[in-house]
């Protein structure tokens, strides 16, 4: 088929997914439910998404021959992992529609380009400076002050590719540790809480979003998501408006997550963008009438987008490798009517690796949080 900008992909067609982790796995589940075929492209064999796919292409993202063959075997391509080189998307786009488009990927996979884009549309961000050398890092620290966080500009996630700098004297060690001349320094933000907005936009420009959620991290990896976040109505309205401005300006077709800080001064500052379903949106699988993976599928296939509704308060708790060492007691979780267990099919549990998650439903957010923590503690104590 030839690529098209306005094209409805009906059930029965084949969805191509770039990347093969747990996000691709859950997207494949949504596709299966609606009768689509699934093809996965990834360098990783025996992957979480590949276990559910009709076909899996195991090849590098710069393998032009493999990309061309993959593109001609599917009806539309989307991705669950943004650290794919833009050239790969350009190759695919010659044969098939890719949603969100390559321009979205190009902007959001590089922190300097992302921050520059956000500034250009008037979206407030954390103060930052581009860093190409140790001298530039020292100059940036004089401007932004400490503490600050030095990050690789591209290909970083879950705390990888970053170093906190508490004193200017630590600059040289931090710069050397990251081993790159394409960096960004971000100022420390005094925040009340971290937030995210998981939203979607269709081919026709329709925008829908889930309730704003609060995210709590452990060792730079998302630990808990509280849905909804305890925000005032005006902050909810503002966060949603910022997300819409971003998705419209990027001309997104698909799901995109906007991560924010709520400052102690009441401001909302955008931290990062993720052009795909997001870890903080996993609660939607159990607490909403349309989950984020079905919403992604609907958007990229040109099907109707519904404004999602949350049925009850919910808390998502990640299960990392260290949570599942030994003999995890999954039965303790499955005995609860209000806790849902999701495992990703990964054979080896390593510290920091996302192995699964659980979602607890409650009458209040405090009730859901208590159930989530109790259930995860039961797994760890086994």
Mean pLDDT of 307-330: 94
d(CA 259, CA 118): 13
Domain boundaries, the chain: 14-98, 127-187, 191-380
Location of structure tokens 């990050």: 151
d(CA 102, CA 77): 11
Q: What is the pLDDT of residue 85?
A: 83
If pLDDT is split at 50, 70 and 90, which confidence band does 2 have?
very low
Burial of 142 from C-beta contacts in 10 A (0-12 / 13-18 / 19+): exposed
Location of structure tokens 């990896």: 221
Q: What is the tens place of the pLDDT at every residue in 159-199?
A: 578 899 999 999 999 999 998 999 999 999 889 999 999 99
* Distance of alpha carbon 131 from the chain centroid: 25
Q: What is the tens place of the pLDDT at every residue in 40-69?
A: 999 999 899 999 999 999 999 999 999 999
Q: What is the pLDDT of residue 220?
A: 84
Is the peptide bond prior to 336 cis by the omega test (within 30 degrees of 0)?
Answer: no
Mean pLDDT of 313-330: 93
If pLDDT is split at 50, 70 and 90, which confidence band does 79 have?
very high
Residues 6+ apart with CB under 8 A from 175: 131, 134, 137, 150, 183
d(CA 78, CA 259): 21
Tell me how far apart the 2 most distant CA atoms of the chain are, in Å. Answer: 60
Tokens of residue 175, six digits: 């710069």
Tokens of residue 274, six digits: 């993720």
- Looking at the predicted structure, is the pLDDT value of residue 5 above 60? no
Mean pLDDT of all residues in the chain? 94
Among the listed residues 189, 192, 164, the one whose alpha carbon sits nearest the alpha carbon of residue 178? 164
Mean pLDDT of 59-88: 93
Tokens of residue 85, six digits: 């080189």
What percent of the chain shows pLDDT beyond 90? Answer: 86
Q: What is the tens place of the pLDDT at every residue in 109-156?
A: 999 999 999 999 999 999 999 999 999 999 999 999 999 999 999 866
Q: What is the pLDDT of residue 1?
A: 38
DSSP 46-113: S-TTGGG-SEEEE--TT-HHHHHHHHTT-SEEEES-S-S-HHHHHHHHTTS-BSS-HHHHHHHTBHHH
d(CA 276, CA 284): 14
Q: What is the pLDDT of residue 156?
A: 60
Residues 6+ apart with CB under 8 A from 129: 136, 139, 140, 143, 144, 184, 185
Q: Which CATH class is domain 127-187?
A: alpha beta
- Looking at the predicted structure, is the pLDDT value of residue 91 above 80? yes
Mean pLDDT of 211-232: 95
The order of strands in the sheet holding 37-42 is 55-58, 37-42, 14-18, 76-79
Q: Which CATH class is domain 191-380?
A: alpha beta
Q: What is the pLDDT of residue 50?
A: 94
Q: Which CATH class is domain 14-98?
A: alpha beta
Q: What is the pLDDT of residue 154?
A: 82
Among the listed residues 212, 213, 202, the one whose alpha carbon sits nearest the alpha carbon of residue 296? 202
Residue 174 backbone dihedrals phi, psi, to 5 degrees = -65, -45
């Amino acid at each position: 088929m030839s690529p098209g900008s306005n094209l409805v992909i009906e059930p029965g067609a084949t969805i191509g997914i770039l990347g093969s982790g747990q996000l691709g796995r859950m997207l494949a589940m949504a596709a299966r439910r609606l009768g689509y075929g699934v093809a996965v492209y990834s360098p990783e064999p025996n992957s979480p998404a590949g276990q559910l796919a009709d076909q899996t292409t195991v090849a590098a993202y710069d393998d032009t021959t493999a990309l061309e063959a993959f593109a001609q075997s599917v009806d539309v391509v989307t991705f669950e992992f943004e650290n794919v080189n833009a050239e790969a998307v350009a190759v695919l786009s010659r044969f098939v529609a890719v949603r969100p488009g390559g321009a979205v990927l190009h902007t959001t996979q590089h922190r300097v380009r992302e921050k520059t884009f956000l500034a250009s549309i008037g979206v407030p961000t954390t103060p930052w400076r581009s860093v190409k050398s140790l001298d530039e890092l020292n100059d940036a620290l004089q401007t932004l002050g400490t503490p600050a966080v030095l990050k690789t500009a591209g290909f970083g996630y879950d705390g990888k590719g970053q170093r906190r700098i508490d004193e200017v004297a630590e600059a040289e060690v931090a710069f050397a540790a990251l081993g790159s001349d394409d960096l960004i320094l971000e100022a420390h933000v005094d925040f009340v809480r971290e937030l995210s907005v998981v939203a979607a936009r269709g081919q026709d420009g329709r925008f829908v979003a889930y309730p704003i959620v609060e995210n709590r991290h452990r060792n730079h990896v998302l630990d808990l998501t509280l849905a909804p976040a305890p925000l005032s109505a005006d902050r909810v309205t503002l966060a949603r408006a910022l997300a819409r401005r971003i998705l419209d300006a990027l001309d997104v077709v698909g799901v995109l997550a906007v991560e924010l800080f709520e400052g102690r001064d009441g401001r909302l500052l955008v931290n990062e963008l993720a052009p795909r379903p997001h870890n903080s949106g996993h609660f939607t699988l159990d607490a909403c009438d349309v989950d984020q993976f079905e919403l992604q599928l609907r958007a990229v296939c040109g099907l109707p987008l519904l404004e999602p509704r949350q049925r009850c308060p919910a808390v998502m708790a990640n299960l990392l490798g260290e949570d599942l060492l030994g003999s995890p007691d999954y039965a303790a979780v499955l005995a609860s009517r209000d806790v849902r267990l999701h495992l990703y099919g990964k054979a080896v549990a390593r510290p920091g690796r996302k192995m699964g998650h659980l979602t607890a439903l409650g009458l209040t957010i405090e009730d859901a949080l208590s159930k989530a923590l109790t259930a995860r503690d039961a797994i760890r104590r086994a």
